[in-house]
Amino acid sequence: MRSVCELLLVATIACGGPAAQVTDAQTIPFTDHGSTQQSGYEGGPRIVAAGDLGLTGLGGLAAKDATRLYLAAFAGSQRTGGYDIRVVRVDRSGDRLTVRAMFTAPPAGALTIQVLTSPAHLVSIDRRAAASARDVVLLDQSAAERARGTVPQSQP
């Protein structure tokens, strides 16, 4: 008869095997403050981390709260409608915050409104969850890096 420890070891190896990646990433709960199609940002994809809501460029989406770190994800300037960005997860690993987002584009040949858009999504996390974090990275649904920024250093 096998001991509980032996069974747990077998289950662990069977589920992950020797090739399983071990990570110290922790998922951080976030508050969704909303999105806009008209952020006014004219560049490519961008991620902004700021304790001051006004520095995100999306201050109209939330009320100021000194206990929060705001994360603004921008899809970049687009020439038509049909584009979107939606933050789906925030992780912390070491001194890095990783913001995972779903980027949406209109299907090829779709009828879209002919107007300049700049999709963006604003979320926030507890400032203490970002204490000593230095970098923030924006990844798309395929885990490709779209943008990188810095996390402001302050007392949590």
pLDDT, tens digit, 9 for 90 and up, residues 49-80: 999 999 999 999 999 999 999 999 999 999 99
pLDDT higher than 70, residue 37: yes
Whether the model clears a pTM of 0.85, i.e. scores above it, the answer is no
The pLDDT value recorded for residue 43 is: 95
pLDDT band at 23 (very low <50, low <70, confident <90, very high): low
The pLDDT value recorded for residue 25 is: 87
The pLDDT value recorded for residue 27 is: 97
The pLDDT value recorded for residue 154 is: 62
Own/partner contacts of 90-95, CB < 8 Å, gap of 24 or more, are 90/27, 90/28, 90/30, 90/123, 90/125, 91/25, 91/26, 91/27, 91/28, 92/25, 92/26, 92/28, 92/129, 92/130, 92/133, 93/23, 93/24, 93/25, 93/26, 94/24, 95/132, 95/133, 95/134, 95/135
Task: Count CB neighbours of 107 within 10 A.
Answer: 7
Q: Which residue has the higher pLDDT, 111 or 5?
A: 111
